[in-house]
Chains A and B, each alone.
Chain A
Amino acid sequence: MRDSISGKTSLRRKGWTRREWHYFWLGLIFASPWIIGFLVFTVYPFFSSLYFSLTEYDLFNAPRWVGIDNYKAIMKDHNFYKSISNTLFMAFISVPITLLCSLLIAMLLNFKVKGINYYRTIYYLPAVIPGVASALLWTWMLNPDFGLVNIFLRWVGLPDPAWLLDPQFTKPSLILMGLWGSGAGALIFLAALQGVPQTYYEAAEVDGANWWYRFWKITVPALSPIILFQLIMGLIGAFQIFTESYILAGGKSGNSLGGPGQSLLFYAVNLYQEAFMNLKMGYASALAWILFIIVMLITLLVLKTSRRWVYYGGE
C-alpha cells in the first residue's frame, strides 16, 4: 500500500529508481493473469473478428479475403433492417419504461414502514432467477388460454391478447418480463436515494416546496449520475438481448429464429443465426462490428447530452 503511493508520487520525477522499477515489474507479474487473459480472450478476438469480417469463413476452410463484400451484403439484407428496428424498439421503449419503474419501486422501498426489509427482499428476488428460467416461467404466465396474466385480464373484463403468438404483442410481452426483474435496478437506485442528504429535503420543506418539487428538484438531480449509468447499461443490454427471444421463439430445425412475423428477430439473434446456423462467420463478424459502432455512437450521444442533465456532487 505504502509502496504504491510512493510509486505514484515518484512519477512526477524524471526517472525511476531501481527499486521503483523492481516494484513496477513485480506489480506487472502480479497483474499478469488478468493482462494475459485480457490479451488472449479480449484483444486478440477483438482484432481477429475485425479480420474475419473482411473474409468469408465457415469454420472448416481457411478464411477467404473478400474485402468489404460482407458489409455490402449486410446493407442489402432485409433481416438486418428488421433486426435493427426490433432492437431499437426495445432500446427506446423498454429501457425508459424499465428505468422509470425501478425508480418508482426504489422510492417506495425508501419509505420507513414496518417490515420494509422484507419488501426489499421480495422485490429483488426476481433478479436472482437466471434468464432462461424466467423466460420459461413467463411462457406459462403468458399462455393465452390458461396463463395467469390472461386469466386475470379476463376476470377484470379486459381483452386477452395472444401475447407470444401475436407479432404485435411479442415485444410488449418481453417488456412485461423485463419489468418483473426491475428490482435489480431498484436496488441501485435505493442505495443512491439513501445517499441523498436529508438536509436538502428539510431545507426545501422549510421553504414550502411540495412533494413534486422535492422529487423533481432534489431527488432527480441527485440521482442523475445513477440514472445515466443505468440508462447506458440498459441500452447496452437492450442491444444484446438474446436469451428471451431464443427461448420464447426457439428455432426448431429448418425453422427460422425470431418468432411470429420475425417480431423477435433481434440483432444478436440474427447474428447467432448467421454465425452458427448458416456457418457464415465472416458475415456475422461484420454484423458484430456494425453493432459495436452503433452502440458506441449511441453511448457517446447519451454521454454528450448527459452534461446538460447530470449533476455530480462535487461540481
Chain B
Amino acid sequence: MKRKGSILGLIFVFLLAILSGCSGKDTPSPGKESGETKGGDSKKESVELSFWYGWTGPEGEALEKLIKKWNDANPDIKVKGLSQSDYQKQLTAITGGNPPDVASNFGQDVVPWGERGAMMPLDDYIKKDNVDLGDFVPAALSSSQSKGKTYAIPIAMHVSMLFYNKEVLEKAGLSGPPETMGQLKEYITKLSVKENGGKLQRLGLWPGVDAFTFSYAYGGSYYDADKKQVTPDNAGVKAAIEFGKGIWDQFGSSELDRFASGLGQYMSPQNPFFTGKYAMTIDGEWLPTFIKQFAPNLNYGIAPIPYDENNPNLKNPGNVSTSVFYIPKGVKHPEESWKFLKWITEPDQMAEFTAAIGNLPTRTSLQSNEIYKDVPGFQEFLQYSSSPNLHSFPATTFSSEYMTEFSTQYNAILRGEVSVDEGLKRVKDKIQPLVK
C-alpha cells in the first residue's frame, strides 16, 4: 500500500512537471531580464543593433554583405546580424523584453503580431522621412498593414506561375501551355501517364497544389471586411477546391500516395518537375534559379496561371506572399533601428539583395532594373508581378490560424474524409468566432 502511494506521488510530480513545461512559457516575464543594454548607454554616439534574419546559407551571406556595407558607412550604428530562422525565438525575446533591434519575418505573421503589439508601428517614421509607400506593389504592402497602420516593410515578394516541361507537352501533341482552367484540366488528363499495370508514371499536375492561387483565378476571396465575415465558402474558393478535388479523384488517394512516395527531394536534381514526373507545376520565382543549379538541361517554359474562362477579366491571377523587416516593440534604440530598416529597404539595397537570392523586389520602380537581367526566369516573373489580379491572403489577427485550418480541411476534402461543403463549413465555424 505504501509503495503504491509513493508511485502515485511520483506520477503527480511528473504531471506537474509536464504542465509546468507547457505553461511555464506563457507567464509573462517582468521585462528587464539581464539588464544588458547592448552598449550605447554611456557613449551616446556608438550604438550596436542586433538584427535577426531568417535566411541561411548563401542567402544569409548575401544579407551579411549588405550589413557590412552599412557598418562601413555608419561607424556610429553598428549592426550585428544573426541568422535565426526559428521565429518562435523572436516571440520569446519580445515577450521577455529583450528583443532584437530589427528582425525579419513572413508577411503573414505581420498583422497577427502587429495588432497584438509585438511590432512597432512605423507610420510616424515613414511620414517624417517621406518614404514613398506608393512605390510598393499594393498586394505586397497590404499584407503589412492593418487599420491604417504599417507594421513592417516588405523586402521581397513571392508569386507563383505555371511551369511546364516543353518536351513532355510536345510529345503529347500540345503546342503551348494551357491558358484557361478548363484547358488545364484537359492537359492534366492528357499528360498523366499510367503504366500497363495501372501505376502512375507521370502526373500532369499534382492535385494538392496551392488552393490559394487557384481561388484567385476563380475570383474567390477569403474575407469580407465590410460584413466582418470569413468566406471560405465563397463561390470562387469553392470552385478552386472542387478543381483540386476533381483531379485528385481521377487518381485516388492510395495511387497518389504511392506515386508521391517515389518522388525525390524538392531541392535536388530529383525534384519531380526536373525529372519529368510532373509535366507541369505551380511554383515561385526562385524555381528557375534552382533549375539552373540542379537541372540545367531541362527544357521548360513559364506561363501565367490559367484563368477561369467565364471570367476573362481575371487574367494573370496569383497569390502574393512576402518577406518583411520590422522593428519589435520595446527596442532600446528605435531611431537607429528605423535608420537601418529604412536604408536596407531603399531601392539599391533591395535590388542587390533580391537579385542575389532570386526573389522578386516589392518596389515597382525596380521591376525594370538592369540588375535582374541575368536572374533566370525573371523577365516573366517581373512582368507578372505588376498584374492587377494578384492578391495576398487578407491580413488579419487570425490569418495564420485561418490559413492553417484552411489547408487542413483542404487536405481532408481531397482525401474524402469530409465533403467540400462540410470541410469549408468547419473552417468557417472555427475561424468566424475569432473575428472581432
Taking a contact as CB atoms under 8 Å apart, the answer to whether A240 and B412 are in contact is: no
Q: Is the CB of B412 within 8 A of A45?
A: no
Q: Does A254 contact B (CB under 8 A)?
A: yes
* Chain A CB within 10 Å, residue with most, of B20, B95, B415: B20
Contact of B26 among A49, A145, A306 (CB under 8 A): A49
Which of A60, A77, A278, A299 has the most B CB atoms < 10 Å from its CB? A60
Asked whether B407 lies within 8 Å of A285 as measured between CB atoms, the reply is no
- B176 near A: Cβ within 8 Å? no
Could you tell me if A42 and B27 are in contact, using CB atoms closer than 8 angstroms? Answer: no
B404 within 8 A of A: yes
A146 to B215, CA, bound (A): 37
Interface residues of chain A: helix, strand, loop or mixed (majority): helix
Q: Are B20 and A45 in contact (CB under 8 A)?
A: yes
* Contact size range, B: 35 or more
Interface 9-residue window, one of B35-43, B56-64, B110-118, B276-284? B110-118
Q: Which of B377-401 contact A (CB under 8 A)?
A: 398, 400-401
Q: Do residues A46 and B20 form an inter-chain contact, with CB atoms below 8 A?
A: yes
**What does the 1/0 interface line of A32-51 toward B look like (CB < 8 Å)?**
00000000011111101100
Question: Chain A 174-199 against B: per-residue CB contact (8 Å), 1 yes, 0 no?
Answer: 00000000000000000000000000
* B174 lies within 8 A of chain A by Cβ: no
**Nearest-neighbor residue (CB-CB) of B429 within chain A:** A76
CB within 8 Å for A78 and B426 given contacts A46-B19, A144-B261, A167-B415: yes
In the assembled complex, the Cα of A258 lies from the Cα of B262 at a distance in Å of 21
Number of A-B contacts (CB under 8 A): 139
Beta-carbon contacts under 8 Å, A120-145 to B: 144-145
Q: Judge if B88 is at the interface, Cβ distance under 8 Å.
A: yes
Check if B173 is an interface residue, CB within 8 A of chain A: no
Does B8 lie at the interface of the complex (its beta carbon under 8 Å from any beta carbon of A)?
yes
Is residue A100 contacting chain B, with contact meaning CB distance below 8 A? no
A217 to chain B, nearest CB (A): 22
Question: Which residue of chain B lies nearest to A300 when distances are taken between CB atoms in the complex?
Answer: B8
Known: A278-B400, A279-B112, A296-B15. A262 touches B412 (CB 8 A): yes
- List A contacts of B27 (CB < 8 A): 44-45, 48
The answer to whether A46 touches B16 (Cβ under 8 A) is yes
Chain A nearest CB from B376 CB (Å) reads 24
Q: CB-CB contacts of A252-266 with B at 8 A, as 1s and 0s? A: 011110101110000
Q: How far does the Cβ of A167 sit from chain B's closest Cβ, in whole Å?
A: 7
Give the complex CA separation of A167 and B87 in angstroms.
29
Find the A residue at minimum CB distance from B407. Answer: A256
Complex contact A59–B26 (CB within 8 A)? yes
**A60 pairs with B118, CB closer than 8 A:** yes
Query: A73 at the A/B interface (Cβ < 8 Å)?
Result: yes
Closest approach, in angstroms, between the C-beta of B139 and any C-beta of chain A?
16
List the B side residues contacting A277 at CB < 8 Å: 400-401, 404
Additional A-B contact list (17), CB under 8 Å, known A44-B27, A292-B15: A43-B16, A48-B26, A58-B116, A60-B116, A78-B430, A145-B261, A165-B260, A232-B7, A254-B321, A254-B403, A254-B407, A256-B408, A258-B408, A260-B257, A261-B417, A276-B88, A277-B400
Give 14 CB contacts A-B under 8 Å.
A42-B20, A49-B22, A60-B118, A144-B261, A145-B261, A162-B261, A232-B7, A236-B11, A260-B257, A261-B415, A268-B22, A285-B23, A303-B7, A303-B8
Pairs of residues from A and B, 3 with the lowest C-beta to C-beta distance, nearest first: A144-B261, A49-B23, A162-B261
Q: Using a CB–CB distance below 8 Å, which chain A residues touch chain B?
A: 41-46, 48-49, 52, 57-61, 73, 76-79, 144-145, 162-163, 165-167, 225, 228-229, 232, 236, 240, 253-256, 258, 260-262, 268, 271, 273, 275-281, 284-285, 288, 292, 295-296, 299, 303, 306, 312
